[in-house]
Amino acid sequence: MREQLSTSWLVADYFTYRHRVSGRLDVRSKKLATQLNDTASAFIELEDAYISSVERPAEIIASYATSIIRKRNITAVAVARQEDGLLREQIYGSYMGAYLPRVFLTVPAFEIEGYLRLSSKFDLRTVLSTGTDFFIPVLDATMRSSIRPDFVFTGGAILVNKEHIGIICMVREQE
């Protein structure tokens, strides 16, 4: 029996190299992370989408009832709550990692800082090269525009497309 999710629609911000798309995703049958990592589809379908430039994210340039985004072109997705950015087994299963290293990473047009949830010893190389997931969640994340540093986006989780990561660094905690 398929478990029903608590809400039918998830509002999130989807970032591409040049644009920000804010819209609603149907999550009745599959969570956001599951849909992003699903190899059976190359697209995400949004409703009530508002589009703006990453250079001027507060300025809406268009709105549409329905929009399709090619998943490979998504750089990152910001959601308000951590659980909305995690796979079901990451929330309820034994996947819960003991390691929460603070990381800094770059993607086109943005710098992201937050925590990775890992189930084993932290190794930057394995984060990008292992697993079948295309998107990795960065928790309690801050995403700053590298073009306009005064534009900052925060979220309980930001799902980052591994193919778009240019640099990933471990942040040393203050002693």
Which residues, in sequence order, are bridge partners of residue 139? 115, 157
Does residue 21 belong to any structural domain of this protein?
yes
| Calpha distance 128→134 (Å, rounded) | 9
Each residue's pLDDT tens digit, 20-68? 999 999 999 999 999 999 999 999 999 999 999 988 888 999 999 999 9
Within a domain: 95: yes
Q: What is the CATH number of the domain that holds 79?
A: 2.30.30.100
The answer as to whether 29 is a domain residue is yes
Total domains in the chain come to 1
pTM, 2 dp? 0.87
Asked whether residue 104 is domain-assigned, the answer is yes
Distance from CA of residue 115 to its chain's centroid?
Answer: 13
Interacting residues of 34 by C-beta distance below 8 A, sequence separation 6+? 87, 88
Rounded CA-CA distance 116/102 in Å is: 7
Query: Out of 51-65, 87-101, 120-134, 135-149, which region has the weakest mean confidence (pLDDT)?
Result: 87-101
pLDDT above 60: residue 140: yes
The more confident residue out of 126 and 114 is 114
The residues near 138 (Cβ < 8 Å, ≥ 6 apart) are 103, 105, 112, 113, 114, 115, 116, 157, 158, 159, 160
Q: Taking 90 as the threshold, does the pLDDT of residue 138 lie above it?
A: yes
User: What is the mean predicted confidence (pLDDT) over 65-92?
Assistant: 88
Domain-located, residue 1: no
Residue 4 belongs to a domain = no
- Asked if the structure places residue 2 within a domain, the reply is no
Domain containing 81: what range? 9-170
